[in-house]
Structure 1
Amino acid sequence: MSKIKRDSIQIDPCELSMSILRERCEYFFENHTEVESSQRVYVEDPNEKSLGKNRNEIVDIILFGNAYKSFFNSGNWIGRDFRIWVLSHSNKKIVDSFFDNEDVANVIPRYSLFPRTKKRENSFICGEDCNFVYAGRISAQKNIESILYFLYYYRDKYSSLSTLSIYGEFEDTYHEDLGRRFQESYENRIKKIVKDLGLEESVTFHGKVEAASWTRVDYENPVFISLSTFISEDYGCAAAEAQEQGWPLLVSDFGGHQDIIGKGVVKVPYNYIGNSHLPIEVISQLSSSLISNLEAISKNEEVLESIDNLNSYSVIDIDKIDEYRRKIVEKIGPDVNLIHSDYVGAFADTVAGSFFFRDIKKCLYDHKENISVIAFDFDEEFNESQRQSLLELFEKVDMSNCSLNFISSKNLKYKDTLHLLLISKKVLIIKDRLKVIEVKKMLEDKLNIDPSRIFYA
């Protein structure tokens, strides 16, 4: 095994986006002199050389997508008084939640970093032939499978000749908040799905290109698409670059995407997006449901204006940061030691981690009534019987007004899973391969769940 050079920077898959955002943030502070920012620290940037200074000046801490991780490293920040800055309102909710929902985090307004286009903003017209374009990391964290199935069902329903262009490099990262995964070739998986769906002539992989160069390609009727539910989905540089060009956007209503406004912005509810680790049959069914409801969803363009307040800024001292960090560490317990870049998946696999990430996600999307779906194992592909049962059970669900939780039978013994079942409005059970009598007894006798809330197929 060869040695990595000691002075090389630790590679971060989001390094390019962080570099672009750091440059834009610097421009923001330089052009808003009323903020009086003299010390700025980008704690998530691997190229950062400072953690602050012991002087009687306010230190500005700028957080990107990993705000929840950075909070637990705040003991390393140097200074007395701080202003904590984030790039989205969802991250503000996360940071504020650590301080009993006090108004602590400041939001750098989205459109002060990437101004909206002065060109005409085009709308997404459902059913038209489109050149859908995705740009960014080609990772399970970005749910590329859901984009491919979206294209498949869109082409089928509307007899469309629509295409998909994908810009970026493949990587084998996974949804850390859903627990650890064995690494596999994501490139092989995605290209197999393209082949299985017969989309070889409709999907093009362009590889890595220079930042924003993909927006200058002369596409006819381009539509930017991103169905990411990445736990650290914050600003979204690619979406901003597309909107600068006046492109319509079809994006997940999740994380930083929630802050995107303007004519031509269509937000896909979280519930219609299958994360990459679900059985492909579940992803397929969720995508089919999305296409069935796309016309109604696409009528809800985001035309509201931003409400960011640039007149006042919250300042917090290091003693208060330390006090609240200790409170949360005490609440979580020793498993908190796993919250860093290499072991987040292991933390998510603990009961404390599961509860923690469930609270984090409430800040990232419009959380509605819980519907839990139990199957033998959601970490395996479904057989035909399970697929048919899933279709039957989904007919009992108002997909626009619920939050789906997928529970494997092997996880029914855990406290966090039992709590989720107790707060669920409905429990849907796929009987195939399941010990139905045992599950029924647990739900009705142990948890006292009303049988009228339980449905079998």
Structure 2
Amino acid sequence: MSQQKLNVKTSQLILKDAVSTWAIKKKIEDLLVFESFDLPTMAQLERTRNVVFFGDFLASYAYFQENNIADKTIYVLCQRAKELLQAVSPKVKNIIEVINRYELFPVEVTEKSLPSFTHDQFDFVYAGRISRSKNMMGVLNLVKEMQKINPKVGLKLIGEFDPFLNISSEIKPYQYSIKKEVIDFIENNEWSKRPVIIQDPRSSSWLEQLDSSDIMLSLSSYWMEDFSVSLAQAQQRGFPLVVSDIGGHSDLEGENLIKIPYHLIGQNFFTYDAEMEQAQATCCLNYLLSGERGKFGNRNVERIDLPKFEQILELNAFDFFKSSEGRSVFLNYEKAWKASGASTKKILFLKTKEQNHWSSLVKISDQIQKFWIEQQTVDTELIVIDVDQPLDKSRLFKYLPECEYIIAQALAENTINVLRLIRHKFKSTAPIIAYPHELPSIFYASLKLRGLEDFFQEQDVFVVHCQADYEMTKQSFEQVNVIKVSAGFMTTNSRKQVESYKPRDLYYIGRISEQKNIHTLLWAISLIKDELLTRGSKLHLYGHHDHFGSPNFGISGDAYLDYLGDLVSLLEIEDLVIFHGHKAIEHWAEHIAKKKGLGVFPGIHVDENFGYAPFDLLKQGVPSVLTRWGGYKDLIDTFPHNTFPVRVIQTNLGPSVNPSELSIAILKGLSLDSKPNNEEVFYKITRGTWGESFRGSLKKALTGESRLKFTPLASELMSDLKYSPHASLKARGWMLNGHIFTDYSDQRFVVASEVYGALKESECTQEQSLIAPWVKKDGDEFVIVDPLKGEYRLSDTAQLEAYGFSFSNYLLKS
């Protein structure tokens, strides 16, 4: 017999012995313990009128139904099990009883007080099977997050590792072993007190491992969690408990007990998502630190529609390891098993991957969901609806009366269809909080193509990620509610000391795209190639070629990567530039910090509303050169001592960057020689501060039912656009390709580029001018083939200056 089987069997034996002792005291004769994995014979059942169901009570009762067994008194170990059985079968209404857990394991000692989670020294203790069904990653994440507030908190894991594999099909193969998963998590994270694993199959000796200040912790999400012997044993000795409100945990009582509402813990048995589990842990931590924890008590199971047992034909309907049908049926029961029972306000989160075509959008989308997970309270529950999957309209309709607001993770086709259903067909008046992502820089023009030009109301809120998008939203709508928050607000708030950091090489990470202005970067490199060769510095370019071009202007981008290769040869900088292509490096910022790199991001992309790559570098303490443009401007303001800004100049063809200014910024960055005790570089926006500000802004914003109106400028831009509900979002067939601005001289784009940061000034003189390498002389004219802005013919150098193809050479003055 394995240690794991010994541990489970011993725990069950202790519980069986306690039940047998209780039955003798109660004078209940012939009590038969019924377990689906050790089924009694029909002869045994016929000899008794009293049976006890343990955690597999659902399958046990299905066996009763299948064999037409009747006239028995059924005992279960928790109130939640009784209510669930009564919900699924009226036949058990008068024949089911709950055994009081404190009659099985009476508490006769003085309870130990709960400590201060923020100041006292103590260890959390988990005792039992170390299994994903017991939510071990939730336990680890909670302790990790609490250590950021109180480094004196520790964790003991006492028990054997579950031999069963994680059943989720969404996780990677190496994550199947819970033992590897737990150990890797401990090894790969920083701890003020490292978690301790104590493996002991004996079910009584584990109590000897406890110190007087310890707290029992169980965040179990197990669908058979009807009692928990270890918690009963610990409570007999007076230890405080922090538990999930699920199954048998709901019957726990005591002054030194905290029950965490299950919706704050979340479903984590079928799926694995490290980011979301961290968010759920933070949600639990917020609850433990709040004044709300005393408001939550025992509540009845929420009455939801459950399939009756008469409809279940096979016992393995509950075997969700083998049966897809069983898994579907089980999920219906699970809602009741884990329901807190109280009517909570709902926040509907419309989740989608439709716009996850860039890695930065994937990260931002995850950050958005993490934030809203953390906003849950005892009275507010986040309901995630995946709009990319078949929609359960009845379930959606059920939530709307209790819906506080609706979160649109992105304004893409599937999300929009659900929003129409909610507001037009279901007549919901709940405010919508929408994340428009790239829409502000084009005056929200795509809303008309989606038929939403008169959809939004004054009570609705747009959430944007930079000051430029905030101002562009104000330019697009009259009396609009818009809130700005940096897209990186949810990342770990770490403090990075800048220590003896002298950069050597330059690094660009991102799409290889005309919009990122890499051709100007190469031009800038050519101006200082002698200095770079002397320093031994090179430019490393990482990323894939996206072929996107400039779709807002109808300019294709077929061969930009080839163009850049030719430009490197033309400028004779082959020894300074290395194209690496796309590389799957998990922690870019740490990788570049170790190499003492200098980030370089010269982009003038019209939708550059944040900049996740430079944000990751700066947060890690890596200095970076940035154009003062869009979301980059916010990063420069956030990290003023570790950025080297470059102006963006407004020309007759929109924004341009002077290559000599870019060259000077690069040399300044490479000359950085940080010394110990220099100013710490860290991201200043904390989650708590931002959360309070955001909620305050929402409270002020969520008023008014009038239709949101576009400004005259935005209306003019959309005057020629037509509703196209199924227009493509792909690069070459993008629905707005060439329909937004006529070209880079379009005055509406001039407004947008000035909001994004382009400055109206020119300091070029013919004596000191730099003419772009993509300008050629053809007789009396200059022929320009700009990879970003297109093809032009100009007559003189004054026009070259005005259109941004000739710049002052500030290197001559530096």
- CA–CA distance in 2 between the matches of 1:365 and 1:278? 26
Contact 2:122 2:215 in 1 (8 A): yes
- Larger displacement relative to structure 2 (265-274 or 77-86): 77-86
Check if 1:249 corresponds to 2:225.
Answer: no
- Unaligned stretches of 5+ in structure 2? 299-306, 436-814
- CA–CA distance in 2 between the matches of 1:94 and 1:231? 12
Q: Note closer, same or farther for the CA distance 1:437–1:119 as it changes in structure 2 (3 Å cut).
A: closer
| Correspondence for 2:51 | 61
Q: Note closer, same or farther for the CA distance 1:368–1:338 as it changes in structure 2 (3 Å cut).
A: farther
Higher relative contact order (CA 8 A, sep 6+): 1
Check if 1:198 corresponds to 2:190.
Answer: yes
| Correspondence for 1:73 | 63
AA partner of residue 371 (structure 1): I
Q: Which runs of structure 2 are paired with 1:177-196 in the superposition (5 Å)?
A: 184-196=176-188
Q: Note closer, same or farther for the CA distance 1:20–1:403 as it changes in structure 2 (3 Å cut).
A: farther
User: How far 1:273 moved relative to its partner?
Assistant: 1.0
Check if 1:284 corresponds to 2:281.
Answer: no
Contact 1:265 1:302 in 2 (8 A): no
Check if 1:452 corresponds to 2:450.
Answer: no
Q: Note closer, same or farther for the CA distance 1:175–1:187 as it changes in structure 2 (3 Å cut).
A: closer
- CA–CA distance in 2 between the matches of 1:436 and 1:19? 52
Q: For residues 126-149 of structure 1, what are the alpha-carbon distances to aligned partners after superposition, in whole Å with 9 as ceiling and x for unaligned?
A: 221111110111111111111111
AA partner of residue 288 (structure 1): T
Query: Aligned to 1:237, which of 205, 214, 229?
Result: 229
Q: Note closer, same or farther for the CA distance 1:251–1:353 as it changes in structure 2 (3 Å cut).
A: closer
User: How far 1:340 moved relative to its partner?
Assistant: 3.4
| Correspondence for 1:384 | 363
Q: For residues 355-395 of structure 1, what are the alpha-carbon distances to aligned partners after superposition, in whole Å with 9 as ceiling and x for unaligned?
A: 44434444x65453443323236xx9994202332255457
Q: Greater Rg, structure 1 or structure 2? A: 2
User: How far 1:303 moved relative to its partner?
Assistant: 10
Identity percentage of aligned residues: 19
Q: Which runs of structure 2 are paired with 1:104-253 in the superposition (5 Å)?
A: 104-127=95-118, 128-158=120-150, 160-171=151-162, 173=164, 184-199=176-191, 202-253=194-245
User: How far 1:64 moved relative to its partner?
Assistant: 0.9
Secondary structure of 1:399's partner? coil
Contact 2:81 2:337 in 1 (8 A): no
Secondary structure of 1:154's partner? helix
- CA–CA distance in 2 between the matches of 1:418 and 1:86? 33
Q: Note closer, same or farther for the CA distance 1:355–1:268 as it changes in structure 2 (3 Å cut).
A: closer
Q: Note closer, same or farther for the CA distance 1:144–1:354 as it changes in structure 2 (3 Å cut).
A: closer
| Correspondence for 1:102 | 93
- CA–CA distance in 1 between the matches of 2:212 and 2:392? 51
AA partner of residue 358 (structure 1): K
Contact 1:44 1:64 in 2 (8 A): yes
Q: For residues 100-138 of structure 1, what are the alpha-carbon distances to aligned partners after superposition, in whole Å with 9 as ceiling and x for unaligned?
A: 483431111101111114244333432211111101111
| Correspondence for 1:404 | 382
Q: Note closer, same or farther for the CA distance 1:255–1:174 as it changes in structure 2 (3 Å cut).
A: farther
Q: Which runs of structure 2 are paired with 1:44-55 in the superposition (5 Å)?
A: 44=35, 46-47=37-38, 49-51=40-42, 53=44
Q: Note closer, same or farther for the CA distance 1:185–1:218 as it changes in structure 2 (3 Å cut).
A: closer
| Correspondence for 1:430 | 409
Secondary structure of 2:290's partner? helix
Contact 2:276 2:370 in 1 (8 A): no
User: How far 1:301 moved relative to its partner?
Assistant: 9.5
User: How far 1:454 moved relative to its partner?
Assistant: 3.6
User: How far 1:453 moved relative to its partner?
Assistant: 4.3
User: How far 1:432 moved relative to its partner?
Assistant: 8.7
The aligned length equals 414
User: How far 1:97 moved relative to its partner?
Assistant: 1.6
AA partner of residue 93 (structure 1): E
- CA–CA distance in 1 between the matches of 2:390 and 2:262? 24
Q: For residues 155-188 of structure 1, what are the alpha-carbon distances to aligned partners after superposition, in whole Å with 9 as ceiling and x for unaligned?
A: 1113x22111101222265898x99988712222
Check if 1:25 corresponds to 2:16.
Answer: no
- Larger displacement relative to structure 2 (163-172 or 224-233): 163-172
Q: Please give the TM-score of this superposition, normalised by the length of structure 1.
A: 0.77
Contact 1:409 1:434 in 2 (8 A): no
User: How far 1:59 moved relative to its partner?
Assistant: 1.6
- CA–CA distance in 2 between the matches of 1:64 and 1:291? 31
Contact 2:264 2:376 in 1 (8 A): no
| Correspondence for 2:659 | none
AA partner of residue 122 (structure 1): S
Check if 1:340 corresponds to 2:334.
Answer: no
- CA–CA distance in 2 between the matches of 1:148 and 1:90? 27
- CA–CA distance in 2 between the matches of 1:84 and 1:179? 37
